[in-house]
Amino acid sequence: MELDGKVAVVTGAGSGIGRGLARRLAGAGMKLVLSGYNLSSLEATASELSSLDTEIICVPTDVSQLAAVQALADAAIARFGQVHLLCNNAGVAMPGPVGEISMDDWRWVLSINLWGPIHGVQVFLPLMERQGAGHICSTASESGLYATSYLGAYNVSKFGVVGLMASLERDLRARNSPVTASVFCPGAVATAIVSGSRNRSSESMASHVESEKTQKFWKAVGEAVAAGMDPNDAAGFVVEAIQRDRFWIFSHPHVPATALRQAKAMAESQALIAL
């Protein structure tokens, strides 16, 4: 896909991979619609890109709400007339093993990580098909390929994103659509995902409980994430893959290697591999 002069919508653009995507896409000559929960974070991203002479608008959006995603699309069309690329990137995480995760935790994680991309596809796909071109990329995770312990809700949401995008791409090809799709399954990237609950209501957090073991696990995750890949580098893999029309996007070579090892074990012993 050629990017120069075209329009991209990026959710979760206020930090992390979303901000990295904004940098990379602006560098490729795209006009940007930056979406996220906090306007101040979006404006910080836009300010950082001001030297690139890129047209940018910031649209605060709660991707868990279909009406908000529709308003995002309306704002993009009102300003630029078209949208050529949608990056469904907003994401959150809460720790906890299956069976101990509260219903509020399940709802919060799934509403953003899975329903956000679903809403994005529902709203932007018809728009792109009418204009005769477009691409939708959603950020999943290595956890969406083989799951990791103590991240039940996150794993389920990311498996869902992989399934959504694979289904979308197959459906698009079956009807010879001018729109294409891809899914990004990164390993550890240095983002603020472990503090994502900062944007969550205190009422919704009231039922969240962490055992001592879960707290230790979440601390270790935080350390691994902090030492992870630079978001700008991770975003570079995404932009390159979109330009080359690839469906699967990986930031770390161990991710497809581990998925392959799991597939081999599935065929030979029907067992889950140790991670």
Residues catalogued as catalytic: 154
Domain 7-268 top-level CATH class: alpha beta
Q: Which residues pair with 249 in a beta bridge?
A: 184
- CB neighbour burial string for 28-56, b if at least 16 within 10 angstroms, e if fewer: bebbbbbbbbeeebbbebbeebeeeebeb
pTM reported for the whole predicted model: 0.96
Give the span between the Cα atoms of 113 and 151, in whole angstroms.
13
Give the span between the Cα atoms of 52 and 20, in whole angstroms.
14
Please report, as a single letter, which amino acid is at residue 168.
Answer: L
- The pLDDT tens digits along the chain (275 residues) read 999 999 999 999 999 999 999 999 999 999 999 999 999 999 999 999 999 989 999 999 999 999 999 999 999 999 999 999 999 999 999 999 999 999 999 999 999 999 999 999 999 999 999 999 999 999 999 999 999 999 999 999 999 999 999 999 999 999 999 999 999 999 999 999 998 776 777 777 878 888 888 899 999 999 999 999 999 999 999 999 999 999 999 999 999 999 999 999 999 999 999 99
Give the span between the Cα atoms of 272 and 152, in whole angstroms.
15
User: Would you tell me how many other CB atoms lie within 10 Å of the CB of residue 254?
Assistant: 12
Token pair of 262 as six digits? 């799991």
Say what the pLDDT of residue 176 is: 98
Say what the pLDDT of residue 200 is: 74
Please name which of 182, 183, 184, 178 lies closest in space to residue 82, comparing C-alpha atoms. 178
List, edge to edge, every strand of the sheet that includes 134-139: 56-60, 31-36, 7-11, 85-88, 134-139, 179-184, 248-249
Give the span between the Cα atoms of 111 and 201, in whole angstroms.
14
Rounded alpha-carbon distances, angstroms, from residue 178 to 65, 129, 139, 170, 239: 27, 6, 21, 13, 19
Token pair of 153 as six digits? 């809700």
DSSP conformation letters of 13-53 = TTSHHHHHHHHHHHHTT-EEEEEES-HHHHHHHHHHTGGGT
Total count of residues recorded for the chain: 275
Could you tell me if 111 and 64 are in contact, meaning their C-beta atoms sit under 8 angstroms apart? Answer: yes
Say what the pLDDT of residue 230 is: 98
Give the span between the Cα atoms of 229 and 191, in whole angstroms.
9
**CA angle, 91 then 19 then 14, to 5°:** 65
Q: What is the Rg, in whole angstroms, of the alpha carbon atoms belonging to the chain? A: 18
Contacts of 264 (CB under 8 A, 6+ apart): none
Give the span between the Cα atoms of 168 and 5, in whole angstroms.
26
